[in-house]
Structure 1
Amino acid sequence: MQKFITMGEGYHEIFELQALIEYNHERVRHAIFLDNDKSPATFLLIMKPVEQDLQAIYTIYNGIAIKDGEGKKYQLIKSWCEDKNLSIVEFSTKSPEDFYEREQFYQYLTGILRLNHLILPMT
């Protein structure tokens, strides 16, 4: 079972993300940037499953500006991941603005992540 934990939209949450990467990098399974044409990118930090296959997915929702591989937050997150030898996956997805509710966007992402074997299959 996956649980999306929204850290925020990219302001002060960036420092909480830094602490997660710094102190829990052994638990990180994937670091993912989700880019789209309409709004800022979303960042996902997918953790390895814990008891009873619970898998946390920490999210900075719609809060990372990326233009041609540039952007201060993007570069910071990328450098933190590289320092801990975490590979970064980048996808183009639909914009969160295309969905009526945030939960619908997360359901859409769950399908994409499962199809690409980035999260556990449904049991």
Structure 2
Amino acid sequence: MQKFITLGEGHGDLFELEALIGHNASRIDRGIFLHTKDGPSTFILIMSPVRGNFQAIYTIYQGVLYKEGTGRKYTLIQEWCKAADIPVVEFSTRDPEDFYEREQFYQYITGVLRLNHLIPPMT
């Protein structure tokens, strides 16, 4: 079972992410940037499964400005992941605004991640 956990708003999300990477690097499977055509990007940090099949997926929901490889948050996250030897994947997705609720967007992303073998299949 994968569970999306949205980190704080504003700069709080960045501080929480830095602490997660700094203190739990050995439990982190990978980081993923989800870019959209016009809006801000979403970053997700996929943890390794624990206690059977529970897998936490931490997210900075639409909180990363990205313009052709630039943006301060984007750069910081890339640097932290590189320093902790965490692989980072990037790809384009549908805009979260296409969905009525955030949970629907997370369900869509779960399907995309499973199809690309970035998270385990349902059990």
TM-score (norm 2): 0.97
Identity of aligned residues (%): 61
Q: 1:115: which partner in 2?
A: 115
Residue 103 of structure 2 is matched in structure 1 by 103
Q: Letter of the aligned partner of 2:94 in structure 1? A: K
The residue number in structure 1 matching 2:62 is 62
Residue 80 of structure 1, CA deviation? 0.2
Please report how far the alpha carbon of residue 30 of structure 1 lies from its aligned counterpart in structure 2 after TM superposition. 1.1
SS at match of 1:90: strand
**Is the 1:28–1:46 Cα contact (8 Å) retained in structure 2?**
yes
Task: Quote the RMSD (CA, aligned, Å).
Answer: 0.9
Name the counterpart of 2:36.
Answer: 36
TM superposition shift of 1:10: 4.8
1:53 aligns with 2:53: yes
Stretches of structure 2 lacking an aligned partner (at least 5 in a row): none
Q: Return the TM-score normalized by structure 1.
A: 0.97
Equivalenced residue count is 123
1:4 and 1:59 map into 2 onto residues whose CA distance is: 7
Deviations 1:78-101 (A, max 9, x none): 000000111110010001011110
Structure 1, unpaired ranges of 5+? none
SS of 1:60's equivalent in the other structure is strand
